[in-house]
Amino acid sequence: MTHPWFSGVPTPRVLAHRGLVTPEEAGHGIVENSFAAVAAAHSAGAAYVESDCHRTSDGVVVLFHDDDLSRVTGDPRKVADVSSRELEHLMAARGGLITLRQALSSFPTLRFNLDVKAADAATAVGAEIAPFADRVLLTSFSDDRRRVALTAAAAAGRGIRPATSAGRGTIARVLAAVSARSDRLVARALAGVDALQVPERQGRLRVVTPRLVAAAHRHGVEVHVWTVNAPDDMMRLVAMGVDGIVTDRADIALATLS
């Protein structure tokens, strides 16, 4: 059965990577994973926003990518070492802090692709998304973090689990199984997974191939590729059969792929 996160939105899916920050908005100081960036993605017509989850010192789950604040705010402290009030102050001139709870409640028609970045955030993320599990896909580079969050969502849930995409360990097993041409091993690796979210390449290794896409599709699993910003690349990947494009420029992707 198709998870509601996938239902009603045609492929190729456009996932707004950390929201949408155009060059003009960046010139005004707006940054990724801010309230303004999520609002801009919504206004551009994106159905999906890809974002990241950390937990502040007072236990609030916020949308933030890096472990520390230096790149985005110039403050060298870690997200886990600042309070939500302090982070709200730091983000005030940068588009505004957005918490996970605010994201889910303020944008009720958006579907979120949430990457659990910190181990200490996994349980809190799972509990918070449980009432909204029909429009959340949960992921993490760490399969362990992903499973902890899924377990917490199930414990607090109402019968619908979040969708989920594979972590690095699972992806490695899928790639090995595809290389070995073992559909049995592919099926085993993809058990319980709704999507593979991968880069087109990892160093010299080509990750996304027609064979990988076909193998995933045989088992009802979508393939989403990150982070793709050039229209020609978007069209080439979609022609290969890719189901979703994760992009910093959701506005361009929507215009290109519609």
| Per-domain boundaries in the chain | 13-164
pTM for this model (two decimals): 0.97
Statement: residue 208 has pLDDT above 90: yes
Statement: residue 55 has pLDDT above 70: yes
CATH of domain 13-164: 3.20.20.190
Statement: residue 110 has pLDDT above 70: yes
Instruction: Look at residue 13 in the predicted model and tell me its pLDDT.
Output: 98
pLDDT per residue as tens digits for the range 120-166: 999 999 999 999 999 999 999 999 999 999 999 999 977 899 999 99
What is the pLDDT confidence band of residue 72, given thresholds at 50, 70 and 90? very high
Cis peptide before 2 (omega within 30 of 0): no
Instruction: Look at residue 82 in the predicted model and tell me its pLDDT.
Output: 98
**Identity at 218, one-letter amino acid code:** R
Torsion of CA 142, 146, 152, 158, to 10 degrees: 170
Torsion of CA 58, 142, 13, 155, to 10 degrees: -60
- Per-residue pLDDT, averaged over 55-81, amounts to 98
What is the pLDDT confidence band of residue 174, given thresholds at 50, 70 and 90? very high
pLDDT per residue as tens digits for the range 237-249: 999 999 999 999 9
Q: Which of 20, 23, 22 is nearest to 34 (CA)?
A: 20
pLDDT per residue as tens digits for the range 25-50: 999 999 999 999 999 999 999 999 99
